[in-house]
Structures are given as structure tokens and as C-alpha cells.
Amino acid sequence: MSKFLQKINSPQDVKSLNREDLPDLAAEIRDALLNTISKTGGHLGSNMGVVELTIALHYVYESPKDMFIWDVGHQSYVHKLLTGRKERFHTLRQYDGLSGFTKREENEHDHWNCGHGGTSISAAVAFAKARDLKKEDYNVLAVIGDGSMTAGMAFEGLNHTGHLQTDMVVVLNDNEMSISTNVGGMSAHLSQIMTGQVMTKIKREIDQLLLAIPGIGKDISHYAHKLDEAIKGVFIPGRLFEDLGFRYIGPVDGHNTEALIDCFESIKDLKGPTLVHVITRKGKGYKVAEDEADVWHGASPFDIETGTFHKKASNPNYTSVFAQAMIDLAKEDESIIGITAAMPDGTGISKFGKEFPERTFDVGMAEQHAVDFAGAMALKGLRPVAAIYSTFLQRAYDQVVHDVCLMNIPVVFAMDRAGIVGEDGATHQGLYDIAYLRTLPNMVIMAPKDENEMRHMLKTAIYHDGPAALRYPRGAGLGVDLDPKMKELEIGKGEVIQDGKDIALIAYGHMVRPAEEVAAKLEEKGISVAVINARFVKPLDEELVLRYAHSTQCMVTLEEHSVQGGFGSAVLEALHKEPSERAFQVKCIGVGDLVVEHGAPALVRRDLKIDHNGLLETISDFYDQVMEISPVAGMGHQGNGNHNHSSNGNKENVANPPLRSDLRKSAIL
């Protein structure tokens, strides 16, 4: 067991160590990170890079009174280890375990829930301003990476902080990496900054020398500062931050605990906003993670000795099928372009970029810009595919509305990670995209039943003359054969997977296969089940929905999405557009009005009752309830919930009796 880490149960314990012991503590923390993340998976590279920085912060400041606001929060594991969560660290990102991001509910040292980047400065300046308004006394520090600093929101926070001149600190953790190599002017800007403290030291020594000159020293020092400004303007572009109203300090060696502690102690009581530029190395201390920082940003379980991932045999994942489909289509059509917001590998756009570098754009962590960039490109006749996770597209909602849909611009939104994502948890679930897109004029929205249909939908979306969005889940597909040629689907048309008379299961996207599996079980019980692949939620195949609503006793909608405003809502709306001689019995299955936390997808789906057993139970119970309300022959089912065939096994064919009025209202959901 470790010599130092084992004694640390709070930041106070960090302070009790001698400075010369801190490098050993850092080494022990790196061991703990490797030992845990090799089992649980997680953001290894980012956390290995902030070990000394986090130690220094807790050594100098008084958390939780002093507030650390981590941007994205994927690099907060060291913070968790030092704030009383060491014993639970092995539960990282596991079901019912520690979150992979900071969470207020988890610990008093976590002041801001995160997961989406760019929010830390806005939160920090607000916390600092609240402190001042309430005449309280504590330090506030935002810790933001160079990748997250490319988020527009980060600039909004910087801009306002510079205006307010609030006493706070922004620690810019610059490892020259986003998930992949960082991109954009800011990245170039930062990498120009001279490393090491040489420049800072020289400036301080000159200043002291000049001020020591009696009489004229002050004036010369003033002019030297002017000279310094000029030099900075040329060589040290920390100038950008100073022009925004920040005191710029750095760059500081982010792996030198002494230097970091000295730096934070020297700025701790400074007035106004200070930006400390820290230079770190992503993956520090684990060579493969240093050498391939993009690969090791989000590590799946691995063997520490060999640095190899424990690969689980599985079907091709949706992302790789998407990437290949993009490549195949782009070979035929040079107007197709791929756009990602700092997620080239996660979306598969990096694979597309290897084939078509000049038609591939990584805009940084800037989803809003990505959407507008796509829209304007489309107006010039290009066919942009904006590959943005369902959850991250939330960041660009008004751009989708205002800059694409209202102008009816043909942009394709390829929303990977739709549905339950698993270990990333609440902030990353793809559970809201149907609802947030379904209200938008001109938007066509679809979801494939498998990876083969996704290819057809991608082509359909690309050649649709207006905005189109397709959603598909994280991880492996069904392993179905891929049709050699992609075809365009008829927009707004669903697919009858199997016919049936008693109950219709109308499923959306990757819930079609689970619906088929439940249907097979119900058929074993003598229930005749129709299974519909809706394919489109907008425009919905209303004719198909109504046909089965009338021809069966009841209908169940299935989606891996919030039930509120999702696919089921669209079906309900369609069923009640026109008066009907009967009430429709419809059960909408999806995710209820709740926050869906982190954990293995199978466990999360089990809890949400959208796994096989949950679906089977819910649908069976619903069907029995319907039979009790309006007992009809159908397959000879009696109202008492027992299912038996008439003596000759024929299905009595009885018209659906009208529901009693008092049940009408209860028969809808």
C-alpha cells in the first residue's frame, strides 16, 4: 500500500505533508489511477496529466471553502482521491459508484456538475461575484483544458470576468490536446507561448533591478513594462488574456509541484482575475498514454504491463459503419463533407478525414459554430454531415433552429450516442434529441433498426433537400449483413416487420430488435403481435400507425429516449388528430421524467425496465389490463387475464366494443 496516499482522507492531510514528499505522493496517485482505470475504464490521459496540478491546488487552497470548478470534469479523479473518496475510487463510473465527473451530490468538494465542456468559467465567475455580493471570503478557481478553452462559452465567461474584474483564477491546463490534437487559433496561440518560467523570471529580475535605481528607477520600470507589453505582444500571446482583462501568469511547468505551489501561493491574494497558464503532458507517467494521448483520452479496461486494451469481441459498431458509409458516399459525391466538434475519433470522422482530409473539419469543442459552419457550407451546394453526439448537439440547439431549420438548409445531423450511453452517465445520455428536434419546422428525423438501415438513412438524409437528423446508439450493431448498395428510403414511411391482430408494438430505432424479441415471447403465449419499425418520427407514417391502432386491441410504442415529447408522443398526437369511434389503448415505453445516472448500459436498462424482461413484463401487464377493460375474442383472450383459445382453436372475431366513457381518458397512456 502507498506510504502517503493511504494517509490522505481530506485536503488537510495533503497540507500536512512536507513539500519534498509530494513527488512521491504524485507517483502513488498515478499508480492508483492506473490500477483503477485499467479495470473500470475512464479518462486516463487527462487525469495522469493533472496529478501535480491537483496536489498543488489542494496544498495551497482550502477546499471546500475555496472552490475548484473543473471544466468537463473528466480530469477530476485526482481531486476525488484527495477529497475523501479514495476508498470508493474502485467504483469509478460503475453502477451506483463514483461519477466520472464532478457532482455536487457526491461530495462537498464538488461545487458544479459537469461533463459538457466550457462551463467552468461562467460558473466560477458567478460563484466569485456571489461571494462579493454576500461579503464572504473564499477563493474561486476554474480549471479548464486547452481543448475546452475552444468552447465559445469559455470565451463568454472570460469576457464577462474581464469586465467584472472579479477576484478569481482561471487555471488553463494546456497539454496541447483536446481528445485528439487540439485545433484552432487558440491552440496555435497557446503553443506559441514560450514554455518554462524563463521569461517570467527574466521580467521579474529586470523589474527588481530597475526599481532599485534611485530616482529614475520607477520611470524606467514603467517604460520597461511598456517594453514588456510590446515583447508580450510579439512573443508572449498571453496578451490575448491580458487584453480580456486578466493578469496572465505563466507558462508554469505543470509537473513541477514546487513551482506550482509557489505560483499559487504568489497569486492567492491578488485582486482581479488571474489566468495561470500551466503546461502539462497528457498521459504523464504512462508512456503509451503519453505517446498516443488521443487513444488514451478515454481508455477502456486495459493491461497495465502491456498497454493493450481488453478487447471484447463484438459486432462492428455503429460509428465505424457510419464512417465507412460516409467514405463510400463521398467517393461518389465530392460535395459531401464531414464536420466534427472535437470528437473526430468518437464520431468516426477521423476515419473519413484520412480519406478526404480537405473535406473534413474539426472545429474544436464548438458545436454551435459547427452547425452554422455546416449550414452556410450547404448554402453553397456542399452536403455537410455534422457528426455530433446526441448529447453534445444540445449545446447548439438554437443554431439548429435559427440557422438551419428556419432556412430549410440541407444539413445532416448524425447523432451518435443516442440512447443510454453507460459509464459517462447523466450528462452524456442521448435521451432528448427526438423531443428537442421534433418541434422544428422542415426537420426530418429518423432512426435505423440496425447498422445496415443506418447506411440507407445516411444516404436518405444526405440527399434530402432540407435538414435531416438520424440517431444511432453507442457501441456495437446487430451484426447484420450490409447491403452492397445504399439506397434512399421513402421519407415518412415505416416498415411492417411482422403482422399481428392483438397488439401492435411500434418501435423506433434500436428498439425494433427488442420489440421483435418481446413479440416472440408473447406469441408463445398465444398473443398475435404486430411489430412495426417506425423508421421516421418526423414525418411519422401516420397511415401505418392508424391502421394498426384500429386493427389491434392496443398499441405499445418503444423508444430509448425520454417518453416526454419523444416518439410515443408523436404517435399519440397522430392517433388523436381526427375524431375516432373508439379510444385507442396506447402504452408509451421509454425513459421517464428522471435523471439517468452512470453505469453499465445493461444495468441501467434493467432499472429503467427497457431491457428484455422489463419490456416483456410491462407489455404483458398492459395487454392483460386492456383485455380486462374491453374483453374481446381476438385470440380468444378472456378479461380475467387468462389466455385460452376457443374450443376449436379458431379465433372468435368480435368487433371491438366501445369503451365505457369513464375509461376513455385512462385508456390513452
Ligand X SMILES: CC(=O)[C@@H](O)[C@H](O)COP(=O)(O)O
Among 46, 113, 256, 360, binds ligand TPP (CB under 6 A): 46
State yes or no: residue 180 binds ligand TPP (CB under 6 A). Answer: no
Based on the residue annotation, tell me whether 395 is a catalytic residue of this protein. Answer: yes
Closer CB to ligand X, residue 438 or residue 471?
Answer: 471
Among 97, 346, 384, 419, binds ligand X (CB under 6 A): 346
Catalytic hit among 395, 455, 501, 605: 395
Q: Which three cell numbers stand for residue 154?
A: 469559455
Q: Are 498 and 516 in contact (CB under 8 A)?
A: yes
Indicate if the alpha-carbon torsion angle 301, 116, 73, 598 is positive or negative. negative
User: Is the peptide bond between 539 and the residue preceding it cis, with omega within 30 degrees of 0?
Assistant: yes
Closer CB to ligand TPP, residue 177 or residue 519?
Answer: 177
548 is in an annotated binding site: no
Among 60, 177, 506, 558, binds ligand TPP (CB under 6 A): 177
Dist. CA 275–CA 245, nearest whole Å: 10
DSSP, collapsed to helix, strand or coil, labels residue 430 as strand
Based on the residue annotation, tell me whether 487 is a catalytic residue of this protein. Answer: no
367 is in an annotated binding site: yes
State yes or no: residue 424 binds ligand X (CB under 6 A). Answer: yes
State yes or no: residue 42 binds ligand X (CB under 6 A). Answer: no
Closer CB to Mg ion, residue 45 or residue 601?
Answer: 45
Among 32, 34, 123, 177, binds Mg ion (CB under 5 A): 177
Residue whose C-alpha is closest to residue 528's, from 669, 657, 666, 652: 652
Among 147, 157, 473, 494, binds Mg ion (CB under 5 A): 147
Catalytic hit among 80, 131, 203, 282: 282
Task: Estimate the share of the chain in helix, then strand, then coil, as percent rounded to the nearest 5.
Answer: 45, 15, 40
State yes or no: residue 298 binds ligand X (CB under 6 A). Answer: yes
Among 28, 52, 110, 146, binds Mg ion (CB under 5 A): 146
Catalytic hit among 367, 451, 542, 560: 367
* Least distance between Mg ion and beta carbon 47 (Å): 12
State yes or no: residue 41 binds ligand X (CB under 6 A). Answer: no
Match 447484420 to its residue by C-alpha cell. Answer: 480
State yes or no: residue 154 binds ligand X (CB under 6 A). Answer: no
Q: Phi, psi at residue 521, to the nearest 5°? A: -70, -40
Q: Which does residue 5 touch among ligand TPP, Mg ion, ligand X, none (CB within 5 to 8 A, set by kind)?
A: none
Centroid of chain to Cα 621: 35
Q: Which does residue 148 touch among Mg ion, ligand X, ligand TPP, none (CB within 5 to 8 A, set by kind)?
A: ligand TPP
Dist. CA 47–CA 54, nearest whole Å: 9
* Least distance between ligand TPP and beta carbon 7 (Å): 27
- Enumerate residues 6+ apart whose C-beta is below 8 A from 142: 69, 71, 120, 121, 123, 124, 157, 168, 169, 170, 171
State yes or no: residue 598 binds ligand X (CB under 6 A). Answer: no
x-or-dash pattern for ligand X, window 56-95, by CB under 6 A?
----------------x-x---------------------
175 is in an annotated binding site: yes
x-or-dash pattern for ligand TPP, window 130-159, by CB under 6 A?
---------------xxxx-----------
Dist. CA 190–CA 31, nearest whole Å: 30
Q: Which does residue 342 touch among ligand X, Mg ion, ligand TPP, none (CB within 5 to 8 A, set by kind)?
A: ligand TPP
Closer CB to Mg ion, residue 275 or residue 583?
Answer: 275
Dist. CA 557–CA 280, nearest whole Å: 50
Residue whose C-alpha is closest to residue 138's, from 150, 123, 127: 127
Dist. CA 396–CA 404, nearest whole Å: 11
Dist. CA 28–CA 21, nearest whole Å: 11
Question: How many binding residues for ligand X (CB under 6 A)?
Answer: 10
Tell me which amino acid residue 662 is. Answer: D
Q: Which three cell numbers stand for residue 608?
A: 429503467
Q: Which three cell numbers stand for residue 538?
A: 418526423
Question: How many binding residues for ligand TPP (CB under 6 A)?
Answer: 25
481 is in an annotated binding site: no
**Angle, CA of 49, 55 and 58, to the nearest 5°:** 135
Closer CB to ligand X, residue 39 or residue 268?
Answer: 39
Q: Which does residue 610 touch among ligand X, ligand TPP, Mg ion, none (CB within 5 to 8 A, set by kind)?
A: none
* Least distance between ligand X and beta carbon 319 (Å): 8
* Least distance between ligand TPP and beta carbon 101 (Å): 9
Q: Phi, psi at residue 143, to the nearest 5°? A: -115, 110
- Enumerate residues 6+ apart whose C-beta is below 8 A from 510: 419, 447, 448, 449, 450, 472, 473, 560
* Least distance between Mg ion and beta carbon 406 (Å): 35
Q: Which of residues 267-306 bind ligand TPP (CB under 6 A)?
A: 282, 297
x-or-dash pattern for ligand X, window 435-474, by CB under 6 A?
---------------------------------------x
Within 213-359, residue ranges assigned H as helices are: 217-234, 239-243, 257-267, 287-291, 318-332, 344-347, 349-355
Dist. CA 491–CA 445, nearest whole Å: 9
Dist. CA 533–CA 449, nearest whole Å: 7
Q: Which of residues 468-527 bind ligand X (CB under 6 A)?
A: 474
Burial class (CB in 10 A: 0-12, 13-18, 19+), 65: exposed
Closer CB to ligand TPP, residue 365 or residue 420?
Answer: 365
Q: Are 230 and 224 in contact (CB under 8 A)?
A: no
146 is in an annotated binding site: yes
Based on the residue annotation, tell me whether 358 is a catalytic residue of this protein. Answer: no
Q: Give the residue ranges of the annotated binding site for Mg(2+).
A: 146, 175
Q: Point out the annotated binding site for thiamine diphosphate.
A: 74, 147-148, 175, 286, 367
Residues that bind ligand X (CB under 6 A): 72, 74, 179, 297-298, 346, 417, 421, 424, 474
Binding site for ligand TPP (CB under 6 A): 46, 49, 72, 74-75, 116-118, 145-148, 173, 175, 177-179, 282, 297, 341-343, 365, 392, 395
- Give the residue ranges of the annotated binding site: 74, 146-148, 175, 286, 367
Footprint of Mg ion on this chain (CB under 5 A)? 145-147, 175, 177
Q: Which residues are catalytic?
A: 282, 367, 395
